[in-house]
């Protein structure tokens, strides 16, 4: 009888230890998830800062952006530089879209991606031309998103004329 009580108590303690271990593991996973989310957020912020820095430290990009705003044709060297800039921009936005689709980023990020596509691609004729020649480099989902933003922009543009 006494052995049975000891066995039951040991079994109860073992079960409680398992439950405590599971709870501890859940807390650890939650903390790890929060840390990864913070690192991802920091990485996005650093990418945005790098992109801004590439513009304000560049001897070439401000001239290129001004030429596009004024709808002036780009020189060959400006087109090469802007194509490289645009490829980096699109790669970053494609990556962000993938993270949204995987549930790593909130749905408001999609609005930010659309706004960035509108600002960098849709409203600049030279950027749209470069997009047409480089679009095969990106995911189907991103191509579809860019095309829809450009289409919306062009529709709104023609409606306002």
Condensed to tens digits (0 to 9), the pLDDT of residues 60-112 reads 888 998 998 888 999 999 999 999 999 999 999 999 999 999 888 888 889 99
69 φ, ψ (degrees, to nearest 5): -60, -35
With a cut of 80, say whether residue 34 has pLDDT above it. Answer: no
What's the farthest any 2 CA atoms get from each other in the chain?
95
Residue 59: both structure tokens together: 């001897």
Average pLDDT over residues 39-68: 78
Q: Would you say 122 and 153 are in contact if contact means Cβ atoms under 8 Å apart? A: yes
Instruction: Identify the residue with better confidence: 29 or 125.
Output: 125
With a cut of 90, say whether residue 156 has pLDDT above it. Answer: no
Per-residue model confidence (pLDDT) at position 14: 82
Per-residue model confidence (pLDDT) at position 110: 92
**Torsion sign over Cα 75, 76, 77, 82:** positive
């Amino acid at each position: 009888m006494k052995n049975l009580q000891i066995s039951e108590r040991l079994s109860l303690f073992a079960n409680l230890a398992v439950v405590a271990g599971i709870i501890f593991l859940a807390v650890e996973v939650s903390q790890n998830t929060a840390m990864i989310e913070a690192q991802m957020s920091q990485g996005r912020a650093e990418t945005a800062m790098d992109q801004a820095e590439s513009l304000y430290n560049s001897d070439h990009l401000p001239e290129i952006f001004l030429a596009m705003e004024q709808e002036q044709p780009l020189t060959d060297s400006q087109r090469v530089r802007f194509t490289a800039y645009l490829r980096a921009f699109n790669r970053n936005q494609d990556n962000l879209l993938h993270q949204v689709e995987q549930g790593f980023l909130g749905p408001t990020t999609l609005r930010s991606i659309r706004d960035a596509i509108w600002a960098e691609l849709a409203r600049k004729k030279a950027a749209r031309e470069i997009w047409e020649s480089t679009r095969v480099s990106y995911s189907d989902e991103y191509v579809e998103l860019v095309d829809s933003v450009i289409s919306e922009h062009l529709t709104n543009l023609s409606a306002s004329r």
